[in-house]
Amino acid sequence: MYLSAMRKFVLLTILLNSWLYQVAQNVDYAQGIIDTLTSDYFYGRGYVQSGDEKAARFISDEFQKLGVKDLNGERFHEFSFPVNTFPGDMQVEVDGKMLRTGIDYVVDPSSAGIHQKNIKIKHLSEYVLLDDKLFAKAMKRNHRAYAVMVDTVSSDSTAKARRKEFINGFKGHCLIQIETDLTWSVARHQSDQVIIKLKPGWEAASTVSLQIDAEFQKNHVASNVLGFIPGTAHPDSFIVLTGHYDHLGGMGNATYIPGANDNASGIAMILDMADYFVKNPPRYSVVLIGFAGEEAGLVGSYFFVQEMDQYLDKNRIKFLLNMDLMGSGEKGIMAVNGKVFTDEYALLENRNKTGNYLTEVRSRGKAANSDHYFFSEAGVHCFFVYLMGDYSYYHAVSDSSDNLRLTPSSYNGAFNLLTQFLKDLMRE
Structural domain includes residue 371 = yes
pLDDT at 143: 63
Q: Percentage of residues in the chain with pLDDT exceeding 90?
A: 83
* Shared domain check, 294 and 243: yes
Supply the DSSP string of 341-407, one letter for each residue. SHHHHHHHHHHHHHHT-SS-EEEE----SSTTHHHHHTT--EEEEEE-SS----SSTT-STTT----
* Shared domain check, 335 and 228: yes
Nearest to 252 by CA among 193, 221, 211: 211
Residues 244-278: pLDDT tens digits? Answer: 999 999 999 999 999 999 999 999 999 999 999 99
Residue 365 lies in domain: 28-84+218-427
Strands in 215-229's sheet, in edge-to-edge order, are: 76-85, 215-229, 284-291, 234-244, 317-323, 382-387, 333-336, 361-364
* Shared domain check, 368 and 304: yes
Q: Is the pLDDT of residue 5 over 70?
A: no
CA distance 133 to 186: 37
- Among 104-113, 167-176, 402-411, name the one with the lowest average pLDDT: 167-176
pLDDT at 144: 58
* Shared domain check, 260 and 200: no
pLDDT at 146: 76
End of a domain among 212, 228, 257?
Answer: 212
Residues 11-38: pLDDT tens digits? Answer: 343 334 334 334 445 899 999 999 999 9
CA distance 424 to 428: 7
CA distance 118 to 137: 25
Structural domain includes residue 8 = no
Residues 54-103: pLDDT tens digits? Answer: 999 999 999 999 999 999 999 999 999 999 999 999 999 999 999 999 99
Q: How many domains does the chain have?
A: 2
End of a domain among 186, 212, 238?
Answer: 212
Residues 357-389: pLDDT tens digits? Answer: 999 999 999 999 999 999 999 999 999 999 999
Query: Is the pTM for the entire model greater than 0.95?
Result: no
Q: What is the mean pLDDT of residues 307-327?
A: 97
* Shared domain check, 105 and 192: yes
Structural domain includes residue 15 = no
| Residue 379, number of CB atoms within 10 A of its CB | 10
Q: What is the mean pLDDT of residues 101-125?
A: 95
* Shared domain check, 371 and 224: yes
* Shared domain check, 257 and 374: yes
CA distance 107 to 88: 13
Mean pLDDT computed over every residue of the chain: 92
Residues 129-142: pLDDT tens digits? Answer: 888 999 898 888 76
End of a domain among 161, 177, 212?
Answer: 212
Confidence of residue 169 (pLDDT cuts 50, 70, 90): confident
Structural domain includes residue 149 = yes
* Shared domain check, 71 and 100: no
CATH number of domain containing 322: 3.40.630.10
